[in-house]
A and B are shown apart, each in its own frame.
Chain A
Amino acid sequence: MESKFPASTLAFVAERAPQAIRTPPGRHPLPREFITQHQRARIIAALAEETVEKGYRAVTVADIVRRAGIARNTFYENFSSKEDCFLAASEFAVKEALRRVVDAASKVDTWPARVNAGLAAFLHYVASEPALARTCIVEALSAGPAAVDRYERSIQAFVPLFRMGRKISAKGEELPGTLEETIVGGIFWIIYQRIIMGQTEQIEELLSELVEFSLTPYIGAEAAKRTAAEAPPTPAS
């Protein structure tokens, strides 16, 4: 998997959208707005690329417009502000990641195997979209109050998937209330660190460690290690 940083975002959002139209029904098509509003996708891709280069706060609407090759008016027809556009980018990325995770997890039976398969799909997505990942994970922790809402919303999107583990844990009721936030936040942080270190190509190699980290509180270290040692189904792109 090549690390086309940051051009891949544009490739993904802009090129994938038309393909999605041809996707047969039932295969989780991309969100409607990305199918019907090609422009929105291009703008979001431009935002992600600009953000990687300059950091969220330094990016202006003018930068985005220039990178996307659109008129300023077109930007404002789609988004009310840079913040609005950022929010849409983040929502898109979270939805898409969640779709891939749920899709991968539904192919296996037990909860630990689902975590394994879901995380594999998640890491695969991040590795293929480093600019978008950086925009949503890294910048969320440095862009002030509104960004914090996004960061927490991204985390909360994945929390229920882990919370299910409490049902199979002997101590499920007693576990710390923010355990799932810690697991998801920890995974985000590790990914952030790898992106910063220029190790996007190796993100998928983190799978077994992160699976063990996520499962240990629910099923104990031994069982977590066993699941982590199993190869999950190859993530579909």
Chain B
Amino acid sequence: MGKGFLTYSTAVILQAVANGYLYGFDIIDITGLPGGTVYPALRRLQETGYLASEWEKQSIAQAEPRPPRKYYELTRAGREALAEAVKRYRLLEQRRPTKVRDPKPSRA
């Protein structure tokens, strides 16, 4: 995937991360895209350098209790790419969710 060009669905995913939906499951839910699309896209975005990822600490996951999550975060390049994509895809603006359902978890 060349830099500077994002498909619509990739841009949607990127925007979801930007809006605070930080792990795969959450992104799938908010975007409505299937897992078979979201995960490969996340990997590609990470490879391109738009996203960075980190595993959640085991202790947090155990306290919940649930399996640990992998959190994604926008990089600077990602933010720029998203801004570019928003200009191109006007609809993205309208997709911006009005409320954040799951507040950004505390990251120790």
Co-assembled chains A and B:
no
Q: Which residues of B contact A (CB under 8 A)?
A: none
A residues with a Cβ closer than 8 A to B are none
